[in-house]
Chain A
Amino acid sequence: MDGVFVIKGKLQEIYAQHSIVFDKGAQFIVALLAFYQINNNVGFMKVAASPVVTLALSVICTFFPVIITVIAATALILVHMYAVSIGIFVVTAVVFLIMYIFYFRLTPKMALIVLLMPVAFVFQIPFAVPLSYALVSTPVSMAAVVCGTIVHFMMEYVKKAAPGITGKGFSGIMAQSSEYLKKVFQNKEMWIIIAAFLIAFLVAYTIRRQSVNHAWKLAAAAGAIINVVVNIIGDIVLGVHTSYTSLAAGSIVAVVAGLVLELMFFAVDYTKSENLQYEDDEYYYYVKAIPKLSVAKPEKMVKRINGRRETEIMDTEAVRNRRYDRDGHGERDGARSSVRKVSEHSKGSSRMR
């Protein structure tokens, strides 16, 4: 487990050094996926649905704030809806306007969820978004989850029904619009999914805020179970048939996403938690203190195999004396002893000559 935290630390370091690259990279990927899934599902206007336009839009949106990506995605959906029918275009525009007026005008940062929800539906992991926001955000994001789900079902209806949408003149357009609204907002599957997301969100959020040990893990698991249970009950009661395999797989992926989020944002050491109790004049306080988990970065030990040997420093004076002795003028050991002395004296400075 320590290894995981060391990797996390390294990732944080890398992110801190190149945060702009990572942020813009993530923004580009989200924009590309969002535009791709829009063009793949409701790409009825061929020019706007081409890969070049998708890529160009994604690149352009990368250099602007996230809200521009949301506005561009909305515009792209409306362009495709216009290609299908003017009635469907007007109804979709009005639905987007209502979403903006009642919600996104007040919390524009949440608009990103509306982009993420349809993308998550494409990957069969829609529950990953509400669960992630239940762990890191507040219930304010629930409305955005609902809006995102509605947008997905609107696109899904148009994708399926577009070839059969006919009718000209005012009455034809009115009939198309009415049918579109009925099919989308009377879709039982959509309301079951929304109910499951909302209940699971509230359960996960409530558990996450408790002071129990491993609250995040419990919240993720409980949220996933509630999501599956509500979906199954809804299916049985309302007679809707959803794929339980993808539901279970999506919930498992959501739990894994929750665990990753816990690792990144809430790494604590429950074994060292402390429960304190004290009081002042007005209150009794029950405090649970859990230390944040921090793993020391392992230090690298460099062992030199071919280490530099100490250079013997010779005393030129002693050599001269030795030569003089060899010629028969004095003591033989004089030079050797002086060499040893100099060598001992120079220990610790390998560069001395």
Chain B
Amino acid sequence: MLDERKVKLMTKLALYEHTQGKEDFKISEYYRKDYAGMHIFSSIIWVTIGYVCVAALIVLVGFDALMEGMSNSLMLMLLMIFVVGYFGVVVIYAVISSHIYNQKHKEARMRVKKYNHDLTRLLKWYEREKK
């Protein structure tokens, strides 16, 4: 005979497995530090590409004006601004990425724990039925 509570639990587990579970299982394979570190590293790479793109667009807009008043001191100053700006952006994005991915890992772990708990409950039901 069908046990309504068991059916509900199984549906809940199956729904989780097919939606959030897919990503959560992947995330929970890593330790939190490893997961966040990996994403911070990829963020730094992406931000470097993005920063170069922004700089390229700025140069494109002000290319004529820049060439007119170009001198060694101006070039050095622009280079300094570019480097300082780059490190500033990298630090900001590293902090944001760290917060986002740490939180993501924490939430995923909590969901996986709940899933495991429900799964254990289901297994116990089956064991009781066998007896």
Residues of A whose CB lies within 8 Å of any CB of B are: 91, 94-95, 97-98, 101-102, 105-106, 174, 177-178, 181-182, 185
Nearest chain B residue, comparing its CB with the CB of A181: B61
Known contacts: A101-B47, A102-B47, A105-B46. The answer to whether A177 contacts B53 by CB under 8 A is no
| Interface flag for B84 (CB, 8 Å) | no
Known contacts: A106-B96, A106-B97, A106-B100. The answer to whether A98 contacts B61 by CB under 8 A is no
**Which residues of chain A come closer than 8 Å to B53, judged between CB atoms?**
94, 97-98, 101
Interface size on B, residues (CB 8 A): 17
| Interface flag for B14 (CB, 8 Å) | no
Residues of B whose CB lies within 8 Å of any CB of A are: 43, 46-47, 49-50, 53-54, 56-57, 60-61, 63-64, 93, 96-97, 100
- Assess the B63–A178 pair: CB atoms within 8 A: yes
- Distance (Å) between the CB of B30 and the closest chain A CB? 18
29 contacts between A and B (CB under 8 A): A94-B53, A97-B50, A97-B53, A98-B50, A98-B53, A98-B57, A101-B46, A101-B47, A101-B49, A101-B50, A101-B53, A102-B47, A102-B50, A102-B93, A105-B43, A105-B46, A106-B96, A106-B97, A106-B100, A174-B60, A174-B63, A177-B60, A178-B60, A178-B63, A178-B64, A181-B60, A181-B61, A182-B61, A185-B61
- Assess the A98–B54 pair: CB atoms within 8 A: yes
- Assess the B57–A95 pair: CB atoms within 8 A: yes
In the bound complex, how far is the Cα of B60 from the Cα of A177, in angstroms? Answer: 8
* Further 12 A-B residue pairs, CB within 8 A, beyond A94-B57, A97-B50, A181-B57: A97-B49, A97-B53, A98-B53, A101-B47, A101-B50, A101-B53, A102-B50, A106-B96, A178-B60, A178-B64, A181-B60, A185-B61
